[in-house]
Structure 1
Amino acid sequence: MSSFSGLSTALSSLNAQRQALEVSGQNVANANTVGYTRQRADMTSTAAQSAPSLFSGSGTAAGSGLRISSVARLGDVFLDARVRSETGSASFAATRAEVYARLESTVAEPSDLGVSHALSTFWASWQDVGNSPDSAPSRAVLLESATALAERISSGYGAIATQWTQARTELTTALDDVNTTADGVALLNQQIRGVLTSGGSANELVDQRNVLVTSLSRLVGATATERQDGTMDVMLGGNALVRGDVSHAISIVDGSARTLETADAGVRLQWQGTGTPLGTASGQVMGLVSALAGADDGGILARAARSYDDTAQTLMGTVNAVHKDSFTRGLGGAPGVAGGDVFTTGGSPAAKYLKVALVDGAQFAVSARPDAPLDGSRADAMARLQTADGGLDEKSLPTVRGADTTWSSFVVRLGVEARGADQRAVVSESTRATAEKLQLSGASVDIDEESVNMLAYQRAYEGAARVLTAIDEMLDTLINRTGVVGR
């Protein structure tokens, strides 16, 4: 081997150590970059050049230095896949828990602002009128409590309708994010394939793509598979959201549940290009879709709205039935007349348009007979509707189901479901956080480790420079000083 080969060996070390130092510097620079995966310069020693020739030596020769074979990205595809899976599940559970939390704040039970308190005040007002049928103030209070109850039910239903509209707007925004992110993944696939084909390193582009794919997992529970050419297929419900450099958009089916009143069939999603229904079970989008489903399909908001409507119809039906069977207090010796409707509704659903039909407290009928102006027995019968639960009375006869029972059943069910949703969200988030910690333990940058690596590369660089200097001095002696001894 030529004496000059030592220079090439030392130079290869200088280049390799410098490159490795640059990789460590890149790691340190991106220590706080979200989604960045640490890199490592893989060094490979190069074999000695051996070619038979007339003047080749008979002894063994050392290698010809080293080279950087690759800059490895220290990510774990299995941990990445686990993080995506857990992210989709956690996002789905968190979205449903948030919907329940907003709904509970709207229902406001138990509190003075809830329907239960308005119902209790309404029944107590009937008791007061029953005790003093000739009291104008008591009748005025009853009229006011009836009005407040109707307004509370109507405003509660309106709040759910507002939440439903807000959730649908969030769904539309989330779908826009899905389509935009899928386009970004397709573009990165194209760039990564081009860089790898030309022999370059696309580690930073892969990191950017992984961040986008994880975002798709959070939004729609997407899964991903990497192909041999470096591109990544993103799958959704068995269909490709992104394949190579082509993405496929998702949209809401035209006319699908535009308002709460038309939400019986719920909101439906489709592949925009083919119109095929979208099948997936996790992510923020599906959490919103489940909340916006029809009441018969378990839709959170539609079921709550139906409970408001059931309460309104039960209240209107039971109160009006007792009131029509009672008589008003006759004035000036005239007999009383049969009572009319206390509550009425101007449209459907009843909860949205519920209002009081009476305009004066004197119109309340509390007497069992038209000729008994001081009789308040029917007010007592009205007040007993508070405890009507649809069971049997003391004579084993079936009784009606009162508005209080209907409402309390809804409140209990809502509380149980909200608590369960919150617990599932906490558990899912804990599982996701654990998976993320495992992923980061191998992929995140350790400043101390990189500092040690930089010191090692620096010392190796200095050593290679010293070798280069020593060989240069030897060659100087060989070239410029050989044959001049003794002159």
Structure 2
Amino acid sequence: MNLVNIALSGMNANRVALDVTAQNVANINTPGYSRQQAMMASIAGGKYNATSPGMGVEVTSIRRVTDQYLVSQTWSTSSAANYSASYMSSMSQLENMLGADGFSLNQGLDSLFASLNDATSKPESTPLRQQIINESEALARRFNTLTESLHNQHKDTHEQRNAAISHANSLMANIAEVNKQIVETNGTGGNPAQLMDTRDNLIGSLSEVMAVKTTNQPDGSVQVSLASGQPLVLGGDAGSITAIPDASDPYLAQLHIEFGQQTFATNGDIGGKLGALHEYQVDVLKPNQDALNDMAMHLADEFNATLSAGLDLNGNAGKPLFTYDPANPAASLSISDIKADELALSGDGNPGNSDNLTDLIAISNKPVAVSGFGSLSLNDAFTAMIGETAIKARQAESDYQAKNAMNEQAVAARDNVSAVSSDEEAANLMTFANAHNANMKVISTANQLFDSVLQLF
């Protein structure tokens, strides 16, 4: 009887719909899960039977509810948010470092020039002269400590980049493997929904490391590349990112994409965490290191040149106060083995004369060339460095707040379409369960009719 067959098809179709609903409910808290829908279609009646209403219903497919545009928006905004987060974190660390009392060059400079001013009252005083040497040594240590801290941050940024590259390479290999599985599942008529969710999550994680774009392929795989076009994943094949160390600095690197037998160079603007690390190193950290080297070099050269023009307590030509390695002035800055009586504070050899001491004090206001800040005094140069860092840190924080809000909006828009709604699924359960029971009632009715017919004989 067609009545039974039609009812059986309805029972089977609604049972599948109940299974799909149960799967949705089970994954209501699964991150990145896209809800599914059972797509039903009526089965047509006989070709030559005008009185046939049809042969029931069938589930033609299970639809994965998603909007690729919204998913892509979560990836692009995630890349921007992670770029901003990484950059803000680095700038905040630098701001705290430069603002710490123990790293303040201004405090060290003020103390040194204060000791020089104190010595004008009695230039021949050994304790006052020793104080000048002591403050000079303390200032040199401030340069050393601050430079070491910047170097450590430079090294830490290098290690973060290596970790991010390793993570990205692992993600790309996993995306390629999932691509293979999706193609195989499609080829055997299976449902690749869970695999597609997994792939979206992997691409989302990759977008945190760098900005990516994707292209869907006819076989169900996805092609992934950098925003600038260099290939990362093609079907079941994945490339790898390598960092080529800079010849002048082993902690700086140029990134390349190796894919098969080809190598593609990247520019520094690759987005995500990797882009932020590169920009921070090149645009902030290295310029500040160069500026500190200029400051240390000029401090030493100005003091040593002025002292060489004077005479010490013994009437001898002045000896240098500072020494440094020209290759790395700020890290190597130190004081010489000069003694208190060897400080050439006099211009004519008279122990009470302070002409040369006055020239030393004048260095505090003497403009010197500092990379990135122009010609200004040492105090003003460090103040400018602190001020510029503070401005960039505030801008980075503001940028992060904006980019993170955009990412949250994109995720909310995606979830509004794809995430599981407990209320909606509860309604679906009632609908499909009632339909299932109604079809069972049709079968029961068909059996009763059949029994009634048998009783006529």
Q: TM-score range by the shorter chain?
A: over 0.9
User: How far does residue 287 in structure 1 lie from its aligned partner after superposition?
Assistant: 1.8
Change in 2 beyond 3 A, CA 1:259/1:141: farther
Alignment correspondent of 1:49: 46
Q: 1:270 aligns with which of 246, 256, 261?
A: 256
**Higher alpha-carbon Rg:** 1
Partners of 1:28 and 1:447 within 8 A in 2: yes
**Counterparts in 2 of 1:254 and 1:379: CA distance versus 1, 3 Å:** closer
Q: Which stretch shifts more, 352-361 or 216-225?
A: 352-361
Distance across 1 between alignment mates of 2:66 and 2:246: 44
Deviations for 1:102-125, whole angstroms, at most 9, x for unmatched residues?
22233235x354111111111111
- Find the counterpart in structure 2 of residue 240 from structure 1: 231
Matched letter for residue 202 of structure 2: L
Whether 1:375 aligns to 2:353 is yes
Gap change, CA 1:256 and 1:89, over 3 Å in 2: farther
**8 Å CA contact retained: 2:78, 2:207:** yes
Structure 2 unaligned blocks of 5 or more: 370-374
From 181, 184, 195, the counterpart of 1:194: 184
Query: Structure 1: any 5+ residue segments left out of the alignment?
Result: 53-58, 261-265, 294-298, 331-335, 392-399
CA contact (8 A) 2:102 2:142 kept: no
Correspondence 1:175-214 to 2 at 5 A = 175-214=165-204
Q: Which residue of 2 aligns with 1:95?
A: 86
Between the aligned partners of 1:36 and 1:198, the Cα distance in structure 2 is 23
**Superposition deviation, residue 257 in structure 1:** 5.6
**Residues 97 and 103, structure 2, Cα contact 8 Å, conserved in 1:** no
C-alpha distance in 2 between matches for 1:257 and 1:450: 61
User: Hey, which of these two has a bigger chunk of strand by percent?
Assistant: 2
Distance 1:230 1:445 in 2: 24
Q: Which structure 2 residues correspond to residues 252-401 of structure 1 after superposition, within 5 A?
A: 252-253=243-244, 258-259=249-250, 266-272=252-258, 273-279=261-267, 281-293=270-282, 299-330=283-314, 336-370=315-349, 372-389=350-367, 401=376
| Residue 11 of structure 1 pairs with residue 8 of structure 2 | yes
Rounded Cα–Cα distance in structure 2 between residues aligned with 1:477 and 1:256 = 95
Q: Deviations over 1:293-315 (max 9, x none)?
A: 3xxxxx32111110110110111
Q: Equivalent of 2:399, from 421, 424, 428?
A: 424
The offset of 1:6, in angstroms, is 1.2
Q: Distance in 1 between matches of 2:271 and 2:418?
A: 26
> Which residue number in structure 1 is paired with residue 148 of structure 2?
158
Mapping for residues 67-216 of structure 1, pairs under 5 Å: 67-108=58-99, 111=101, 113-216=103-206
Distance 1:129 1:39 in 2: 83
Say if 1:8 and 1:193 are closer, same or farther in 2 by CA, change over 3 A: same
Instruction: Check the 8 A contact 1:328/1:365 in 2, yes or no.
Output: yes
Relative to structure 1, is the Cα distance of residues 256 and 67 closer, same or farther in structure 2, using a 3 angstrom cutoff?
A: farther
Q: Displacement of 1:359 after TM fit?
A: 4.4
Aligned to 1:55: none
Q: Does 1:462 align with 2:432?
A: no
* CA distances 1:225-271 after superposition (whole Å, capped 9, x unpaired): 111211100011212211111111121125656535xxxxx421112
Paired with 1:270 and 1:300, the residues of 2 have a C-alpha distance of: 23
The answer (yes or no) to whether the contact 2:83–2:275 under 8 Å persists in 1 is yes
Residue identity (%): 23
Does the 8 Å CA contact 2:347/2:354 hold for their aligned counterparts?
Answer: yes
Q: Counterparts of 1:434 and 1:136 in 2: how far apart (Å)?
A: 69
CA-to-partner distance for each residue in 1:426-481, whole Å, 9 max, x for gaps? 222222222222111111111111111111111111111111111112112222x1
- Cα displacement (A) at 1:420: 2.3
Question: Structure 1 length as normaliser, TM-score?
Answer: 0.87
Distance 1:317 1:326 in 2: 15
Q: Which amino acid aligns with 1:269?
A: L
Q: Is the 8 A contact 2:105 2:139 kept in 1?
A: yes
State whether structure 2 residue 378 is matched by structure 1 residue 403.
yes
Give the 3 Å change call, closer, same or farther, for CA 256–267 of structure 1 in structure 2.
farther
Can you list the C-alpha shifts for 1:145-198, whole angstroms capped at 9, x where unaligned?
A: 111110110111111111111111111111111111111111111110111111
Distance in 2, Cα, partners of 1:360 & 1:443: 77
- Give, as a single letter, the amino acid of the residue that structure 2 aligns with 1:322: T
RMSD: 2.1
**Residue aligning to 1:482:** 456
TM-score (norm 2): 0.92
Contact 1:314 1:401 in 2 (8 A): no
Please identify, of 138-147 and 229-238, the stretch whose mean Cα deviation from structure 2 is larger: 138-147
Deviation, structure 1 residue 84: 1.6
Offset of residue 337 of structure 1: 2.1
Please state if 1:20 is matched with 2:17: yes
Q: Which residue of 1 aligns with 2:27?
A: 30
Distance 2:368 2:266 in 1: 43
Secondary structure at 1:253's aligned position in 2?
A: strand
